[in-house]
């Protein structure tokens, strides 16, 4: 049988930035597991895969307070956090809230690229080595860029300008046509504005990624 391409069309890809000045409604936590991927328990919730939750007010497992968790799986009462290993944390006692990050979507993006950083090579060669010996350092996701139509009042671009000015990281989210969601934190390095004869105002967004990139579905 002939093999069929599994290529996914880029058309329909959605792009979001965190709105730093706003957040969703906090939901009370009733339990947190100690696991490689922490599981939050609620009486009920409306969270979905690809949400980002800021955790606060937890007693017992205080190490989790202030962390942002990427939702990787959900049930009616449970949420699995893709990026928080709570296995070595103190046992959960009570309380706490999970507040969803608010995202702003743009419809002015045309293309994107990046996520191509490389880990550093560490020279571990000694005087008795028979050849160069090396190890790899921490993974580095580098950065990403996005070409856009420059629109001054596009809420996404307004937030990107704020992020560039305040120097604080934002969460970003791509949702692809096949349902996969890519999430990361990054610093906005630049948002350019360019024009030309017989052209439209064009922008290029440059983001430096900090930490890991998470892919969920």
Residues 112 and 210 in one domain: yes
For residue 115, being part of any structural domain is answered with yes
pLDDT at 67: 98
Residues 86 and 121 in one domain: no
The three-class DSSP label of residue 102 is strand
Domain finish residue from 101, 125, 142:
101
The mean pLDDT of 183-192, rounded to a whole number, is: 98
Same domain (yes/no): 66, 111? no
Domain end residue (candidates: 76, 101, 126): 101
Residue 4 lies in a domain: no
Q: Tell whether 126 is covered by a domain.
A: yes
- 75/158 same-domain check: no
What number is the average pLDDT over the span 112-137?
97
Percent of residues, the chain, with pLDDT higher than 90: 98
Task: Please compute the mean of the pLDDT values over residues 118-136 and round it to a whole number.
Answer: 97
Residue of 75, 67, 127 lying closest to 98 (CA atoms): 67
Asked whether residue 11 is domain-assigned, the answer is no
> Distances in Å between the alpha carbon of 7 and those of 10, 83, 177, 186?
9, 28, 11, 28
> Do residues 97 and 110 both lie within one domain?
no
Q: What CATH code is carried by the domain that includes residue 175?
A: 4.10.410.40
CATH number at residue 54: 2.40.30.180
- For residue 3, is it within any domain? no
Q: How many domains does the chain have?
A: 2
Q: Are residues 167 and 94 in the same domain?
A: no
Q: Domain span at residue 194? A: 105-216
Instruction: Report the pLDDT value the prediction gives residue 3, as an integer from 0 to 100.
Output: 86
Q: Is residue 13 one of the residues assigned to a domain? A: no
Task: Let me know if residue 12 belongs to a domain.
Answer: no
CB neighbour burial string for 75-92, b if at least 16 within 10 angstroms, e if fewer: eeeebbbbbbebeebeeb
Domain endpoint, select from 47, 80, 101: 101
pLDDT of 102 above 90: yes
- 1, pLDDT greater than 80: no
pTM reported for the whole predicted model: 0.95
Statement to judge: residues 109 and 94 lie in one domain: no
**Average model confidence (pLDDT) for the chain?**
97
Residues 117 and 188 in one domain: yes
Confidence of residue 2 (pLDDT cuts 50, 70, 90): confident
* pLDDT tens sequence across 3-46: 899 999 999 999 999 999 999 999 999 999 999 999 999 999 99
């Amino acid at each position: 049988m002939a093999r069929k391409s599994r290529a996914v069309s880029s058309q329909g890809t959605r792009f979001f930035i965190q709105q730093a000045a706003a957040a969703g409604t906090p939901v009370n936590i009733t339990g947190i597991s100690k696991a490689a991927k922490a599981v939050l328990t609620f009486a009920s919730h409306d969270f979905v895969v690809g949400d980002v939750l800021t955790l606060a007010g937890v007693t017992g497992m205080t190490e989790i307070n202030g962390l942002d968790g990427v939702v990787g799986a959900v049930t009616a009462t449970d949420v699995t956090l893709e990026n928080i290993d709570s296995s070595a944390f103190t046992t959960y006692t009570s309380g706490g809230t999970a507040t969803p990050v608010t995202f702003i979507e743009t419809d002015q993006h045309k293309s994107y690229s990046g996520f191509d950083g490389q880990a550093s090579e560490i020279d571990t060669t000694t005087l008795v080595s028979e050849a160069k010996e090396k190890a790899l350092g921490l993974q580095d996701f580098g950065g990403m860029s996005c070409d856009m139509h420059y629109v001054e009042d596009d809420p996404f671009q307004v937030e990107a300008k704020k992020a560039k000015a305040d120097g604080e990281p934002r969460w970003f989210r791509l949702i692809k046509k096949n349902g996969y969601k890519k999430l990361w934190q990054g610093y906005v390095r630049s948002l350019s504005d360019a024009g030309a004869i017989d052209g439209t105002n064009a922008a290029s967004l440059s983001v430096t990624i900090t930490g890991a990139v998470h892919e969920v579905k």
